Structure 1
Amino acid sequence: MVGLEMNELKKIGLGLTGFGVFFLFFGVIFFFDKGLLAVGNILFVSGVMTTIGVQSSLQFFTKRGNFKGTVSFGIGFFLVIIGWPVIGMAAEAYGFIILCSGFWSTISVFMQKIPVIGWLFQRFGLNQP
């Protein structure tokens, strides 16, 4: 299980990703602040690339099935950087959903194991395929 070991570079990548999510969250809270969203995007993407590696990231984003999500996420990233945060975040959200569509079942199983959220999944029937 070489891929699951936690070295210093992966710790830095997770920190960058966490700060990216933090800045993105506050960018949305502060009515789509351009600066916070741009910094959050840069930190998030660089953190993901640092965590899983540049080669794995390029393989993921250039995979044939992920092309539509990659283009949408890239256009949204560009729109946020140039100063159109609302349209850019909408395009990024769509791209993120398309890119992560293969992981939803795994995410669902993980969410069901979290104490309060898992109860909500069972209560409202969200665990049904």
Structure 2
Amino acid sequence: MSDRKKIGLGLTGFGVFFSFLGIIFFLDKGLLAMGNILFISGVTLTIGLKSTMQFFMKRQNYKGTLSFFVGFFLVIIGWPIFGMILEAYGFIVLFSGFWPTLAVFIQRIPILGWLFQQPYIRSESDGHKNMRELVNIFTI
């Protein structure tokens, strides 16, 4: 793994952390904005600028991209509740194809893996093989 990708993963992690802190502190717009900026820059450094642009500009990702960036803009201008709702929807639509990969990765982490391999949680995750189907239910 190159240094650029390591820095990108770190920035992405800090972005998620700052977004989490922003939610914990009653939708603090400063922390949410910092989390968004760090997350976007981390993803860009991790997969590269060209791949990031191709990912966000795919035809099937237009709805998710638009709602994510409109939510990002709303958080920046000071409307964190509406912005986070739009961002969450956009995030789910954009990254729904990565959930199965993320589930396999989480199952290999020592403590979280044990938790996610419990019968109830495993049956729930196996019940939704493709998160796109679940997203399509809500976007009729």
Over aligned residue pairs, what C-alpha RMSD do you find?
1.5
Aligned length: 124
**TM-score, normalised with respect to structure 2:** 0.81
Residue 86 of structure 1 deviates from its aligned partner by: 1.0
**TM-score, normalised with respect to structure 1:** 0.87
**Can you list the C-alpha shifts for 1:3-39, whole angstroms capped at 9, x where unaligned?**
xxx2221122122212211211111111000111111
Find the partner of 1:108 among 100, 103, 108.
Answer: 103
Gaps of 5+ in 1: 1-5
Runs of 4+ in 1 over 4 A off after TM superposition: none
What SS class does the counterpart of residue 124 from structure 2 fall into?
coil
Tell me how far apart the structure 2 counterparts of residues 59 and 85 of structure 1 sit (CA, whole Å): 28
Moved more, 14-23 or 92-101: 14-23
Tell me how far apart the structure 1 counterparts of residues 12 and 99 of structure 2 sit (CA, whole Å): 20
Matching of residues 1-129 of structure 1 within 5 Å = 6-123=1-118, 124=120, 125-129=123-127
Gaps of 5+ in 2: 128-140
* Residues 1:119 and 1:12: Cα distance change in structure 2 (over 3 Å): closer
Tell me how far apart the structure 1 counterparts of residues 58 and 116 of structure 2 sit (CA, whole Å): 31
Letter of the 2:43 partner, please give it. Answer: V
